[in-house]
Amino acid sequence: MRVSSRLDEAALHLSEALRLRPEFPLAHYNLACVLADQGHQEEAIIHLNQALAQKPDYGEAKEKLESLAAKLQK
């Protein structure tokens, strides 16, 4: 199975998890990572911000957000 199809599948499952439970910071973070790997940085940033709104001390989400923001400013 190709990596891109596995990422698509992961995004689908994570989106469904968030549809069922929108207040799930880990799912927002994981979906953001998948989206970033797919080249959808802006959408990934939205999910990272949602994860941080739900869990302000989420260190991994903060680091990923800073990293993506820096890439977009280049």
Domains and CATH numbers, the chain: 3-73 (1.25.40.10)
Q: Give pLDDT < 70 ranges for the chain.
A: 1
Read off the pTM: 0.92
**Helices (H) and strands (E) in the chain — how many of each?**
4, 0
Predicted pLDDT at 29? 98
Count CA atoms within 13 Å of residue 60 on its CB side: 10
